């Protein structure tokens, strides 16, 4: 049918955009033909042709080869998945249309049109006037249709707008509207878990995306990463609305648990401990559906960081022990992570200088090192869903700092820094603040303030979430306890205040 429509349209002198619209209108009701598929059929090309054009555009723009393939493009055309901002831009470039013509609301990430200059709503290749519906009318029609079909579409739109603003270099804050959308998406996943056919190939794509988000955790500004993660989270939820075959349902639940846990981790970094707890609760619900002890233990160990940073360290200690019990004898990330959380919680409860606490914490660290050596290699290399050697060094050093073991802690923290890449910013910043605390313990207050100030100055805007600001404040408090009138203390507080002002995320959340 599409071939006939295209042939007649070309014979009548119609543009590709007009032909695509007719294909969608006539084929859609009977065959479910989407707008984006209509454009490919209107051009009379195969999936492979579109992929090659996208790859050529990436090469033209001196970008690494994209991971898009026929399976992913087919998922876009079937409506199972929405292209991300970058892929959407290049698909618009291939078809010479705006996102709304492909069935996606909102502007393109590039901020400008994809038409040939001087041609108003015309076809780039043919240069003929286009009498197809106004894109703005299509946009509103699409939004109204989506809103009636899925009450969560507007929440996704909020995150997309936030992401577009961040990618365009603008400023964005974790305001009430964004938080409302975040919570709404999480609640819908909760509803879905307690109430779906998707192809294994589509699941492969989602699993690859989930792993990719884990890799970005250390070097992507948290709010931007949160938008990406939750848009994927929402796609997984839609696939789970109907029950899948057992094996596919288990994979979806695993992804839901991982994405919820990752969202909770990002919320910890942003300083919103209440939302972090909610995400970890959702993650536990999803993990329970899988029956995977290691996954359930991972979610619980990550959840223990919420009270460790923002609540009662005794609760963190209890959660860490629960995580350790869940893991049992299964070699996994939680087996190493949970004892480290135990050690850090013991240090926070007991403080520095107590021999019993030092011995107890060091025994927990010894268990962590032994468990780490038994972990699968793949888990030792996974920053978010596993537990890496550099994280082990960092967290050991943090526990020893709080126990007052400055010399040993500084040596371990120095080793930890060498294991991070230049693009990593979050953990290295926290490590530098811990090393500054070592200097405070040793009595070198001026050097401590200098190190902490350099750590703040080395962070770009968007990379100063609440957890970083709070660690920087801890250094100031420790120096003040030693010498309230230290001459460098005022300058350091001013530098910290300036950094907090330029980073809106750090000013709206509760203090540690």
Per-residue pLDDT of the chain (512 residues; tens, 9 = 90+): 999 999 999 999 899 989 999 999 999 888 889 999 999 999 999 888 899 999 999 888 888 888 888 888 888 898 878 888 888 888 999 999 988 899 887 778 776 677 644 333 334 344 444 444 444 444 444 444 444 444 567 788 888 888 888 877 777 777 778 888 888 888 888 777 755 456 777 788 888 888 888 888 877 888 889 998 998 898 888 888 776 777 888 899 999 999 999 999 999 888 888 999 999 999 999 999 898 999 999 999 999 999 998 888 999 999 999 999 999 888 999 999 999 999 999 999 987 668 888 999 999 999 999 999 999 999 999 989 999 999 999 999 999 999 999 999 999 999 999 998 888 888 899 999 999 999 999 999 999 999 999 988 888 766 677 788 888 999 999 999 999 999 999 989 888 887 764 444 333 332 32
End residue of a domain, out of 65, 82, 102: 102
Q: Return the pLDDT at 78.
A: 85
In angstroms, rounded to a whole number, what is the distance separating the alpha carbons of residues 391 and 401?
15
Predicted pLDDT of residue 235: 86
Would you say residue 57 lies in a domain?
yes
Domain that includes residue 8, residue range:
1-102
DSSP 332-395: SHHHHHHHHHHHHHHHHHH-TT-HHHHHHHHHHHHHHHHHHHHS-HHHHT-TTTS--HHHHHHH
For residue 186, tell me if it sits in a domain: no
* Two structure tokens written together for 398: 């943090």
pLDDT for 111 equals 67
Looking at residue 504, its pLDDT comes to 40
**Opening angle at CA 91, ends 85 and 95, nearest 5:** 145
- Positive or negative: CA dihedral 341, 347, 350, 351: negative
Number of domains in the chain: 2
Give residue-wise pLDDT tens across range 427-449.
Answer: 899 999 999 999 999 999 999 99
| Residue 208, domain member (yes or no) | yes
The pLDDT, as a whole number, for residue 129 is 44
pLDDT at 353: 65
Last residue of a domain, one of 102, 129, 153: 102
Tally Cβ neighbours within 10 Å of residue 291.
10
**Does 259 reside within a domain?**
yes
Distance (Å, whole) CA 128 – CA 356: 83
**pLDDT in the model for residue 124:** 38
Q: Is residue 236 within 8 Å of residue 256, measured between CB atoms?
A: yes
Last residue in a domain, options 70, 102, 134? 102
What distance in Å separates the CA atoms of residue 301 and residue 344, rounded to the nearest whole number? Answer: 13
Residue 130 lies in a domain: no
As a residue count, the chain comes to 512
Find all residues with CB under 8 Å of 62, minimum gap 6, and list them: none
Q: Let me know if residue 336 belongs to a domain.
A: no
Residue 6 domain-assigned (yes or no):
yes
Whether the pTM exceeds 0.75: the reply is no
**Residue 187 is assigned to a structural domain of this protein:** no
């Amino acid at each position: 049918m599409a071939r006939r429509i295209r042939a007649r349209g070309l014979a009548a002198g119609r543009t590709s955009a007009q032909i695509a619209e007719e294909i969608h209108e006539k084929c859609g009701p009977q065959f479910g033909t989407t707008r984006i598929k209509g454009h490919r059929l209107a051009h009379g090309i195969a999936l492979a042709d579109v992929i090659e054009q996208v790859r050529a555009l990436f090469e033209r723009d001196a970008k690494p080869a994209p991971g898009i393939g026929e399976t992913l493009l087919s998922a876009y055309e079937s409506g199972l998945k929405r292209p991300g901002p970058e892929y959407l831009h290049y698909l618009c470039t291939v078809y010479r249309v705006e996102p709304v013509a492909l069935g996606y609301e909102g502007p393109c990430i590039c901020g400008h049109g994809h038409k040939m200059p001087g041609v108003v709503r015309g076809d780039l290749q043919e240069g003929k006037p286009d009498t197809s519906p106004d894109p703005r009318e299509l946009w509103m029609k699409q939004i109204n249709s989506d809103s009636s079909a899925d009450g969560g579409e507007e929440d996704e739109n909020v995150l997309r707008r936030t992401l577009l603003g961040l990618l365009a270099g603008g400023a964005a804050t974790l305001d009430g509207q964004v938080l409302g959308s975040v919570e709404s998406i999480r609640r819908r996943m909760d509803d879905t878990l307690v109430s779906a056919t998707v192809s294994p190939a589509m699941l492969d794509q989602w699993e690859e995306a989930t792993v990719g988000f884990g890799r970005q955790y250390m070097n992507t500004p948290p709010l931007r990463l949160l938008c990406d993660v939750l848009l994927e989270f929402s796609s997984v939820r839609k696939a789970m609305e109907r029950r899948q075959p057992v094996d596919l349902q288990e994979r979806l639940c695993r992804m839901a648990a991982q994405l919820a846990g990752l969202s909770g981790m990002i919320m910890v970094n942003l300083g919103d401990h209440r939302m972090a707890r909610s995400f970890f609760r959702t993650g536990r619900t999803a993990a329970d559906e899988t029956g995977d002890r290691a996954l359930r233990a991972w979610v619980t160990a990550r959840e223990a960081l919420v009270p460790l940073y923002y609540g009662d360290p005794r609760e963190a200690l209890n959660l860490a022990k629960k995580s350790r019990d869940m893991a049992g004898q299964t070699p996994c990330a939680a087996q190493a992570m949970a004892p480290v959380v135990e050690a850090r919680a013991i240090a926070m409860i007991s403080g520095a200088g107590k021999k019993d606490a030092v011995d107890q914490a060091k025994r927990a660290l010894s268990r962590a090192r032994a468990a780490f050596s038994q972990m699968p290699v793949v888990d030792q290399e996974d920053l978010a869903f596993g537990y890496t050697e550099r994280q082990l060094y960092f967290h050991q050093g943090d526990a020893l700092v709080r126990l007052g073991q400055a010399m040993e802690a500084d040596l371990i923290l120095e080793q930890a820094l060498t294991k991070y890449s230049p693009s990593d910013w979050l953990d290295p910043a926290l490590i530098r603040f811990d090393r500054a605390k070592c200097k405070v313990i040793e009595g070198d207050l001026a050097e401590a303030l200098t190190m902490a100030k350099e750590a703040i100055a080395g962070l770009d805007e968007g990379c100063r979430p609440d957890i970083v600001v709070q660690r920087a404040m801890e250094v100031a408090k420790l120096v003040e306890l030693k010498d309230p009138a230290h001459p460098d203390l005022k300058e350091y507080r001013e530098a910290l205040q300036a950094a907090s002002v330029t980073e809106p995320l750090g000013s709206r959340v509760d203090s540690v």
